[in-house]
Amino acid sequence: MDDYKDIIDFLKPRRDIKASEELHNKVRKAFEKNRRQKKAARWLLGGISLGAVAAVLLLVLIPSGLSAKEVLSEAINALVNTENVEMVVDIRTRPVENFRYINVDDDFISHHVYTVSTDSLLCWRVDKGERTAVGNSKNIYTWIPSLNLGWHINDDDNENILGYLANFLTPRKILEEELENCQNNKNGEYKVEKKGKDIILTVHSSPQGNFDNPYMLNSSIAESETIRRYVIDSDSKRLKSATVNVIADNREIEVLKVSSIDYDSQRKDICKIIPDIRFVELVKQPDGLTSLSAEEAASTILNAFADWNDSILTKVFIPEVSEAAYRERFQGSTLISVGRSFKSGNNNSTFVPYSLKLKDGTTQRHNIALQKTEYGGWIVVGGL
């Protein structure tokens, strides 16, 4: 009932609209039918006059009435000439984890997002302290300072690196993505309301992917049931703030919030690369392990950690990455067991449970994430 009240307040006409007698009769009949079918409609008869209801119905049903598409279009147009933007986006995640990862139990980590647009070229930078990425239309560099290691990709697929955060490279990009989803009826229920001088757009979406095994559920925004809220200034039509809540355990948990937006940022050096970082050129994938099941591939890889068998490990890892990220922790470990493989989520990874006794005597239990290359070989993409 409160939701309907907000909509009615928002759609209240600026001038008096007189309903015809014919419309009065049609509305009465509709109310009588609806009352028999749904008790929740009773507030209409007792709460507002029939003429006001007719006005509301006119505004709702006529295409010129307020809609999510129109709100988004106006907000996008308001940002046409916006070139330099700086945002702070707080996300529940871990400092070194990839930009896609979220966890409802983690603390918020601030991500500083900078963009500069010149001559149709977008340069951007996302920095969360222990992982940074910069890019333009041709190249993406991402690095982890603590490992003194980075990756260079000749690619303009920002989502491949940033996941859902790619939508936040500019306020315009956020709104364009939502408008495309709204126009194509993609996985979302849209609602518009007004509170004071704010227009609030709310989007409710289901998780994307296969969750017969729920392992990857709520591990990223795309793989979660979410409620996204955008606050737009009703005068300037500019985006003021945004939040993403995940529905978990029958409650909303805020996992992302845009805490500030500066539309007049003057930073010009956002694509500066740290000179001391050793960058690996990600030109092609490793060959992978062929003619093996996922369980056999996992066993082969994890057993290779014992004596750090390069003839195996170079087929499933980029050597510079395995040396910097994994060798110190896993060399000398002993495989205890592997379990049955499974799928979960919206990507093409296959997960294999394992138990590994590390050289310090502790046991690590996790799910190694494998993917097949275009040539059919298994490589490691996570889970260590």
Q: List, as one string, the DSSP characters of 88-155.
A: EEEEES-TTS-TT---TTSPEEEEEEEEEEETTEEEEEEE-SS-EEEE-SS-EEEEEGGGTEEEEE--
User: pLDDT at position 66, please?
Assistant: 65
Burial (CB < 10 A; 0-12, 13-18, 19+), residue 378, is buried
Give the global pTM.
0.74
- 311 Cβ contact partners less than 8 Å away, ≥ 6 residues apart: none
Alpha carbon distance 153, 135 (integer Å): 9
> Quick one: CA dihedral 242, 246, 252, 256, positive or negative?
negative
* Strand, coil or helix: 365: strand
Residues of the chain where predicted confidence (pLDDT) is lower than 70: 1-66, 119-120, 155-156, 185-186, 283
Alpha carbon distance 278, 283 (integer Å): 15
Residue pair 234/194 in contact (Cβ under 8 Å)? The answer is: yes
Q: What single letter denotes the amino acid at residue 205? A: S
Domains detected in the chain: 2-65 (no CATH), 74-262 (2.50.20), 284-382 (3.10.450)
* Residue in 243, 352, 236 with CA at minimum distance from that of residue 294: 352
* Residue in 157, 171, 165, 83 with CA at minimum distance from that of residue 128: 165
Alpha carbon distance 170, 128 (integer Å): 17
pLDDT single digits (tens) 206-229: 999 999 999 999 999 989 999 999
Alpha carbon distance 294, 314 (integer Å): 18
- Chain centroid, CA 31 distance in Å: 41
User: pLDDT at position 119, please?
Assistant: 67
User: pLDDT at position 325, please?
Assistant: 85
